Amino acid sequence: MEKIRKKSSETVKKIKLDDVPLSKVFCSLLYWGEGGKVDNHITFINSDPKMIRVFLKLFRKSFIPDESKFRALVHIHEYHDETQVKNYWSKITKIPLQKFSKSYLKPHTGKSIRNGFMGTIKIKYFDSKIVYELKAIYNTLADSI
């Protein structure tokens, strides 16, 4: 594992993370995998705080968004504390609580309760031009590979 971590670290060090076009490529690939494919807004859904944080960091760096266009919605179970979950995701996303919609309460099957699980967040950003650019980038990249 240590050899793999070292090799991975060396690989990442070769990438110019301050390069905006490269940030757009990374952002578009994350969007391709985890984003909603509608045309009038960006939707990105996940329960992994690291993935959410990385996507938003790349998105904000690449597109310099109007922060007022962000919206968020959390998907929770009845065992969650809604206020705690919203505060958690607001801190991760840097989206103010006022931009969070009413939470979606997912039906609980009763099979398991995941300790430490903070639900899933759906982030929306309303700008169709950015949607088209993200799609064009991942499609152009895929076609060139």
Which tens digits make up the pLDDT trace of 81-99?
899 989 999 999 999 999 9
Residue 10 domain flag: no
In-domain check, residue 101 = yes
Lowest-confidence segment of 57-66, 79-88, 124-133 by average pLDDT: 79-88
Domain membership flag for residue 9: no
Question: Cα 96 vs. chain centroid, distance in angstroms?
Answer: 16
Listed range (110-114, 121-125, 136-140) with the worst mean pLDDT: 110-114
In the prediction, which pLDDT does 80 show? Answer: 75
How many folded domains does the chain comprise?
A: 1
- Report how far apart the first and last C-alpha atoms of the chain are (Å, whole number): 30
pLDDT for residue 106:
78
Task: Determine the pLDDT at residue 110.
Answer: 66
- On whether residue 4 sits in a domain, the answer given is no
- At 113 the pLDDT is 63
**In a domain? residue 102:** yes
Please indicate, yes or no, if residue 7 is contained in any of the structural domains. no
Flag whether 8 is in a domain.
no
Domain range for 136: 16-144
Please give the residue that has the higher pLDDT: either 70 or 110: 70
| H or E element at residue 73 | strand 70-76
- The full length of the chain comes to 145
- Segment 92-119 shows an average pLDDT of 82
> What span, in angstroms and rounded, lies between the C-alpha atoms of 1 and 87?
35
- Domain for residue 1, yes or no? no
Write the DSSP symbol of residue 14: T
- Give this prediction's pTM: 0.89
